[in-house]
Structure 1
Amino acid sequence: MATFDGIIGAVREGDLIAHFGNPLIEQRRLASGEALAPLTDRVLIEVAGEDRLTWLDSITSQSVARLRAGDSTELLVLDPQGRVEHAAGVLEDGSSVWLIVDDGDAEKLAAWLQRMVFRSRVTVTPRPDAALVGFFAGGAAESRTTASAPNGVPLIWRDPWAHVQPGGHQYAAEAGHPAADYSWSIAVVDDAGSLAGPFAGALAAEALRIAAWRPRWAREVDDRSIPHEADWIRSAVHLNKGCYRGQETVAKVHNLGHPPRRLAALLLDGSDVVMPSPGDAVLAGDAEVGHITSVATHHEDGPIALAMLSRRAPVGELVVRAGETLIAAAQQVIVPADAGATADVPRLTRLSRRPAGEDPRHAR
């Protein structure tokens, strides 16, 4: 994994570069396009070979068969029950597909892909030493970044979360989705030590991600997650492509059912010095209705969080239990309780509701 050892002033938490002294200032600079964020918690996987696009298309949730050089998208790998197993950003450069993966998922995803090759003309190669930096497009940070281009196309992934992708669907009902200006990009660079500041740490990048309601494998995914719960069909699922593992669940929930849980954004009471942690319980009255998945301090909104809630959790004020402290939380609905059931299927009258004595075989 790239260490970015040449960057001075980094405050580290293990391998993660958390900040450079002032996360809120870094956050403003990052949001304005001025700062670069070294991403030591992401890993690059290269998928090469003539069949790479059609092969990935057949085993993942996204339609990638017709990607052209320079195109970016996102995919999920689902289990047979439609639960999320892996997630990756996707960048095609004309010769290889480059997958950008959370570090905790990279080894397992690469191993699974290698097992799925069979007779396809594909090679899967993890690139753990690749240096990745994040920035918001259109600012000074992008102009200071020279991306690696091993096959002639600069390796810059453009996060598709800003807009509903072809074949996707948005459950969030907000007229002004907070992702509209989320022009997050990730570049692969050859020489991490030569990068020029200002820099921003992971705390800044995470706060802006949470504010954009953007799900992430390392935070929002557990062993029960399906894409609908986090509004992930918006960017990572193509509803009209061919068959793939887990497709039946995706279609059934989207067309006929409702996801059992729903992602919500929380604006936390900042009057207490205590901040919740991922996994902390979310309460409605005395009942536990979900848990925190991500939390940060935003430079404008203060303490914010994402939470995975039961579909039946009430809309309105909630409480987060952080140890012995109870924190009031104003809820912003991301995935509404009635998400899904998009197919206009007429309901059949149950036999038990027919008039007494009526034989259903002769009903008109």
Structure 2
Amino acid sequence: MADAYARVPGAVLDETGLRHLGNPLGEQRALAVGRAIAPLSDRRVLSVSGEDRLTWLDSLSSQALARLSPGESTELLVLDPHGHVEHAASVLDDGSTTWLIADRDDAEGLLAWLVRMRFRLRVDPQDRSADFAVFGGTAEAVSALAVATPDAVPLVWRDPWPAVGAGGHAYAVPAAHPGSDRDWAEAIVPRAEEETIADAAAAGDLTLAGTDAAEALRIAAWRPRWAGEVDARLLPHEVDWLRTAVHLEKGCYRGQETVAKVHNLGHPPRRVVALQLDGSDSVLPARGDDVLVDGSVVGAITSAARHYEEGPIALAVVRRNTPVGAELIVRTAEGDVVGAQEVIVPPEAGATANVPRLPRLGRRAG
């Protein structure tokens, strides 16, 4: 129902939904401080009901879910046999159903894989996107919406990033992680409420922000996403996803052997970096644009945005041995752009890393 927002003054829409309302930088600021909410039409809602749902999802994914408490927020990855990321989802359970929020282009594949893996277990995966929409913003802002509350549990997923969960590990160790102050939550709202929200925004009673604003805040927080950072060979280690999406001490799951070997015995072959881009020519890279050092391609842009405080920024995945002090050049369709590199995952991440383990926040039993 993304067309519902066409009546909101200034709305610019595409196939994914509401991109912006004419002032992306102002929308970022309003979204960051809780004065706006963002309709996330680029997300889809899946549900898994049945008595075996949590132990089943635990056995299939990178996350420890068997003892997930109602209302507790986490995320999972589905890996291939070689440890590469195939699917990703935010996870919330209400006591009888597990709810998954997935990127639009990943949801169909994730659901199809879950359906194939049911066997004789008491689980029922379904696409609930026709019934529910997703809205993002600060926890307080989205909680004020008419959130779905099955079993009296509000379906508000609070992003755990960048805290290190139980069984997780952090590679990035800046003095102050840029995601530490980010307050981000995503609410699952009955689809019928979308018209009410659009009407309120059109009347000036509610402030909206577009998905461009949400993306800029995500990139500034170094937060990985399936629709941005995942390609056919991404390992979770390469984008610091061990923090929130991988439990290194849980039981077996597909891809676990690679996850353990890379973390304990080797190094991830690539690493994510943040780029502060030269904004003098107003050129913003696109996903997939080459990143070069001394004329040689060392990686590619995964996400880029114009941030309301930092200007043009990007995330890129580059070869592990790319010098940390090197000036990076991004080759775009409109010309080359210089990028100053900020190390997120250091080259030594893995077996011999002299990286202190951060305190584990939000530890839970099991």
Question: TM-score, normalization: structure 2?
Answer: 0.91
- Corresponding position: 1:290 with 2:299: yes
Number of aligned residue pairs: 341
Query: Residue 321 of structure 1 aligns to which amino acid in structure 2?
Result: R
Structural mapping, 1:216-255, within 5 Å? 216-255=225-264
The CA deviation at 1:27 is 0.5
Residue ranges of structure 1 left out of the alignment (5+ in a row): 345-364
Query: Residue 308 of structure 1 aligns to which amino acid in structure 2?
Result: V
Q: What does residue 208 of structure 2 align with?
A: 199
The answer (yes or no) to whether the contact 2:78–2:87 under 8 Å persists in 1 is yes
SS state at 1:61 partner: coil
Distance in 1 between the 2:178 and 2:282 partners? 27
Q: What does residue 64 of structure 1 align with?
A: 65
Question: After superposition, what is the alpha-carbon deviation per residue over 1:187-224, rounded to whole angstroms, capped at 9, x for unaligned?
Answer: 01121122242000011000000000000001100001
Query: Residue 61 of structure 2 aligns to which amino acid in structure 1?
Result: T
The CA deviation at 1:146 is 2.1
Query: Residue 4 of structure 2 aligns to which amino acid in structure 1?
Result: D
The CA deviation at 1:343 is 8.8
Distance in 1 between the 2:240 and 2:25 partners? 28
Query: Residue 149 of structure 1 aligns to which amino acid in structure 2?
Result: T
Q: What does residue 320 of structure 1 align with?
A: 330
Sequence identity (%)? 59
The CA deviation at 1:254 is 0.2
The CA deviation at 1:323 is 2.2
Query: Residue 226 of structure 2 aligns to which amino acid in structure 1?
Result: W
Q: What does residue 137 of structure 1 align with?
A: 139
Distance in 2 between the 1:327 and 1:16 partners? 29
The answer (yes or no) to whether the contact 1:4–1:38 under 8 Å persists in 2 is no
Q: What does residue 183 of structure 2 align with?
A: 183
Structural mapping, 1:12-91, within 5 Å? 12-91=13-92
Q: What does residue 160 of structure 2 align with?
A: 160
CA distance 1:63–1:342, change in 2 (3 Å): farther
Query: Residue 152 of structure 1 aligns to which amino acid in structure 2?
Result: A
Distance in 2 between the 1:119 and 1:198 partners? 47
Question: After superposition, what is the alpha-carbon deviation per residue over 1:5-62, rounded to whole angstroms, capped at 9, x for unaligned?
Answer: 1561321022321001100000000001110000000000000000000000011000
Segments of 4+ in structure 1 off by > 2 A?
A: 141-144
Distance in 2 between the 1:206 and 1:142 partners? 17
Of residues 265, 278, 286, the one that matches 1:277 is 286
Distance in 2 between the 1:98 and 1:124 partners? 10
The answer (yes or no) to whether the contact 2:306–2:312 under 8 Å persists in 1 is yes
Residue ranges of structure 2 left out of the alignment (5+ in a row): 201-205, 355-366
Which range moved further: 288-297 or 191-200? 191-200
Query: Residue 220 of structure 1 aligns to which amino acid in structure 2?
Result: E
CA distance 1:143–1:73, change in 2 (3 Å): closer
Distance in 2 between the 1:224 and 1:248 partners? 16
Distance in 2 between the 1:168 and 1:179 partners? 17
Distance in 2 between the 1:324 and 1:209 partners? 25
The CA deviation at 1:342 is 5.3
Larger Rg: 1
Distance in 1 between the 2:323 and 2:110 partners? 36
SS state at 1:252 partner: helix
CA distance 1:96–1:143, change in 2 (3 Å): closer
